[in-house]
Structure formats: structure tokens, C-alpha cells
Amino acid sequence: MAATVEVHEMGATQSGWQRDSKTVRFYATNATATQAATNPLVIPGAASDWSYTKQLRFYMGATGPSGYVASLKFYSDGTMWNNEASKVMVTYDKANRSTWGANVDTDISGANIKGATSGAKASLCISASQFTSTSTYFGGMLRLQMEVGNDASPGTLGDKTITFQYDEQ
């Protein structure tokens, strides 16, 4: 039987909300999992503004793998709003951390997620780990943050997809 693997949006208390096939929204305030239309990101008058960060992590449900789960990766389609706004970018933290410190909502020095494509997947494994435990979080955390520049086009951005992948043995 296949393992029950989910993707959760993490809160500061190390608990999460299941986000498989659901939207993760960037906010101008520290809001999580509400999907509310309040506190939107706005185009700044000068320079750029950053959203609060979002952390996504794998969760093993009550059904574990017959062997193990490994090779945790993610990727995007490589566009991430290139043609919809002059300067909107999502960066991700390349540290593959499994926990985070007190400053989770400071600007991250990551990489533009456009570089993580199906041909160049980014790893969420801290090492060559094999995960077998059930009802627990595992692997590294994908930490995302959106930057909006003062030259961005007005309006609501469309949805973009980030794909999560793992091998089950």
C-alpha cells in the first residue's frame, strides 16, 4: 500500500494545515491558512516590499511506506508571474532547514523559484535521508517569500503551481 504523504503549510508552532491541491496565499501581515482577501500585498511607491514568509513541508500520514520515502524535491513551471507583472518574484530558502528560528518573517536570501523547474528540481532533503515514521513532518522545509517591486503591474496575479515530488521504495 502506498504511503499517505501530504504537503502542509507550517505555522510558528510547528503545526500545519494540509495544502495538497490548495492555494497558499502571500500576505502583507503574518496570516496563515485563512485564504482571506484581507491584508493583500500592494505595489509600493518606491523600491520593493516583501510578503511574510510561507513554509511548506512534507507530512507522513497514518499510512507509512512499505519501505521508505526519499528524494524529496519541488519545482515550478519556470514562469512565476514573469509576464503578468514587471517585478514580482518568489524566492525560496536554499538552506533545506527542518526547523526555523525566531526570525521566520525576515527577508530570505534564497534563489528565484523560476530556476527550480522539472529539468532542474530543487531538493528538500537535508541529506540522503530515508523517511519511514508515520504521523510526522519530515524532510526540509520550502520557505517562500514574494517580492513586489514599485514597477509591478496593478491587479490580482493568477495562480501558479509548485509541484512536490518524492520516491517511495
Residue 105 has pLDDT above 60, yes or no: no
Domain that holds residue 27: 5-168
- What pLDDT sits at residue 139? 86
Residue 109 has pLDDT above 70, yes or no: no
Place of cell 504521523: 135
Beta carbons within 8 Å of 42's beta carbon, 6+ residues apart? 28, 49, 148
The CATH number that applies at residue 24 is: 2.60.40
CA distances from 113 to 72, 85, 89 (A): 16, 16, 8
Residue 94 has pLDDT above 70, yes or no: no
Residue-averaged pLDDT of the chain: 81
The SS3 call for residue 82 is coil
Highest mean pLDDT among 64-73, 87-96, 125-134, 152-161: 64-73
Greater confidence, 31 or 99? 31
- What pLDDT sits at residue 95? 62
pLDDT in tens, 18-38: 888 788 888 888 776 566 778
For residue 39, the Cα-to-chain-centroid distance in whole angstroms is: 19
Structural domains in the chain (count): 1
At 108, is the pLDDT very low, low, confident or very high (cuts 50, 70, 90)?
low
Tell me what the mean pLDDT of segment 54-73 comes to: 91
Beta bridge partners of 16: 10
